[in-house]
């Protein structure tokens, strides 16, 4: 990593953060008992990781102090935006963490839905709450310097990825976000959010994971209405080959104006899909029992949308 990055890490250390040694290979991962001690101490931890470190998702999660049976949801959203959508994003993150699900975000912007996700997760109330995980690359860490934003008392785990000369840093971050997740949630966003969403869907379609993480696209107030049309046109033109993994991706659509109700439905759908409550393991959105709808929200897999 760059000298500037290590200088910045030293500043965090002076503020009471725990800075671990750089993880460069599978053999260098942090022992689980050390990770557990940091978790119990409720101290923020930064784990630097080499961009070419050949680590499995399980090893990455262990280095962050995440227990094997703890569920984690990665949330993709925009760095801008005001009003209802950021409010919903914050409520969703709060409810996830209060349900014992780790919220994973891709940075520390000071605006937009991503900021709402962080603030919402950290505002969760209850005992023995899981930490929040943030995955950032070296350049993004320097750009979105969080120094002074979050004191040492907050349970934040930062996976700090060394900048790569082989991959775009944004795609490296998105890959890490999704690879360690039990479920992936896409909220409103712009170019970066859509790029990460399509990158993840492509990997699902190509079966890069034996058991794809359940993926939910939150179409709130018609934000992703155009996406349905694009997918149907791709299917009509024969550009979107059918694949069973698309059963693991779904779109939740609602025009409800009740922030709490919308957030609750999104969280309930994802929690059921990843089996976080009953411990029944992953199921597809098509197979799960959604229960009675509390609003006009509806859910459909991508396979259903294009059929």
The rounded average pLDDT for each run of 10 residues, N- to C-terminus, in the chain (307 residues) is 79 78 59 47 74 74 82 91 89 94 85 88 87 84 62 74 71 82 92 86 68 84 89 82 71 89 90 63 47 61 77
**Which residue range(s) make up the domain with 204?**
71-128+182-307
Residue 146: its pLDDT value, please? Answer: 57
Residue 214: its pLDDT value, please? Answer: 85
Name, in order, each residue with C-beta under 8 angstroms of 105's C-beta and a sequence gap of 6 or more: 74, 75, 93, 114, 117, 118, 121, 132, 133, 134, 135
Q: Is residue 55 located within the same domain as residue 85? A: no
Tokens 């080499």 map to which residue? 50
φ and ψ at residue 73, rounded to 5 degrees: -120, 125
Name, in order, each residue with C-beta under 8 angstroms of 139's C-beta and a sequence gap of 6 or more: 163, 169
Q: Is residue 114 located within the same domain as residue 54? A: no
Q: Is residue 203 located within the same domain as residue 283? A: yes
Tell me 149's DSSP state. Answer: T
Q: Is residue 113 located within the same domain as residue 198? A: yes
224 burial level (CB within 10 Å; 0-12, 13-18, 19+) = buried
Contact 110, 79 (CB under 8 A): no
The domain boundary residue, chosen from 180, 197, 217: 180
Residue 69: its pLDDT value, please? Answer: 83
Element spanning 122, H or E: helix 112-122
Nearest to 38, CA basis, from 134, 180, 158: 158
Strand order in the sheet with 18-19: 18-19, 45-49, 156-161, 132-137, 102-105, 72-76, 183-186, 215-220, 249-254, 298-301
Residue 282: its pLDDT value, please? Answer: 46
Task: Give the chain's domain count.
Answer: 2
Q: Is residue 29 located within the same domain as residue 76? A: no
β-partners of residue 136 are: 160
Q: Is residue 2 located within the same domain as residue 58? A: yes
φ and ψ at residue 207, rounded to 5 degrees: 60, 45
β-partners of residue 36 are: none
Q: Is residue 168 located within the same domain as residue 34? A: yes
Name, in order, each residue with C-beta under 8 angstroms of 41's C-beta and a sequence gap of 6 or more: none
What is d(CA 100, CA 64) in angstroms, rounded to the nearest whole number? 16
Tokens 């197979």 map to which residue? 287
Q: Is residue 143 located within the same domain as residue 106? A: no
φ and ψ at residue 301, rounded to 5 degrees: -70, 160
Q: Is residue 60 located within the same domain as residue 196? A: no
The helix/strand/coil state of 123 is: coil
Contact 61, 29 (CB under 8 A): no
Residue 300: its pLDDT value, please? Answer: 81
What is d(CA 96, CA 272) in angstroms, rounded to the nearest whole number? 12
Q: Is residue 215 located within the same domain as residue 283? A: yes
Q: Is residue 85 located within the same domain as residue 20? A: no
What is d(CA 16, CA 154) in angstroms, rounded to the nearest whole number? 11
Q: Is residue 253 located within the same domain as residue 139? A: no
Give the CATH number, domain containing residue 231: 3.40.50.450
Residue 208: its pLDDT value, please? Answer: 54
Residue 279: its pLDDT value, please? Answer: 39
What is d(CA 248, CA 283) in angstroms, rounded to the nearest whole number? 8
21 burial level (CB within 10 Å; 0-12, 13-18, 19+) = exposed
């Amino acid at each position: 990593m760059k000298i500037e990055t290590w200088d910045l890490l030293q500043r965090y250390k002076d503020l009471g953060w725990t800075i671990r040694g750089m993880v460069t290979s599978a053999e260098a991962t942090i022992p689980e008992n050390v990770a557990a001690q940091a978790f119990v101490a409720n101290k923020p931890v930064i784990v630097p990781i080499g961009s070419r470190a050949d680590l499995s998702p399980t090893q990455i999660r262990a280095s962050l102090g995440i227990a094997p049976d703890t569920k984690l949801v990665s949330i993709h959203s925009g760095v801008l935006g005001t009003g209802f959508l950021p409010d919903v994003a914050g409520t969703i993150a709060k409810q996830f963490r209060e349900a014992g699900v780790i919220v994973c975000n891709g940075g520390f912007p000071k605006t937009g839905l991503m900021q709402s996700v962080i603030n919402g997760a950290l505002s969760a109330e209850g005992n023995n709450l899981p930490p929040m995980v943030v995955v950032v690359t070296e350049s993004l860490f320097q750009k979105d310097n969080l120094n002074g934003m979050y004191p040492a008392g907050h349970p934040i785990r930062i996976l700090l990825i060394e900048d790569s000369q082989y991959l775009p840093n944004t795609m490296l971050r998105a890959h890490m976000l999704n690879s360690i997740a039990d479920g992936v949630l896409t909220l409103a966003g712009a170019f970066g959010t859509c790029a990460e969403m399509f990158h993840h869907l492509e990997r699902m379609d190509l079966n890069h994971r034996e058991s794809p993480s359940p993926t939910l696209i939150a179409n709130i107030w018609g934000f992703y209405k155009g996406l349905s049309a694009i997918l149907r046109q791709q299917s009509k033109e024969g550009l979107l080959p059918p694949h069973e993994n698309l059963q693991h991706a779904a779109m939740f659509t609602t025009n409800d104006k009740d922030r709490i109700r919308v957030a609750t439905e999104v969280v309930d759908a994802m929690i059921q899909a990843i089996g976080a409550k009953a411990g029944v393991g992953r199921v597809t959105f098509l197979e799960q029992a959604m229960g009675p709808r509390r609003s006009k929200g509806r859910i459909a897999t991508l396979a259903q949308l294009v059929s």
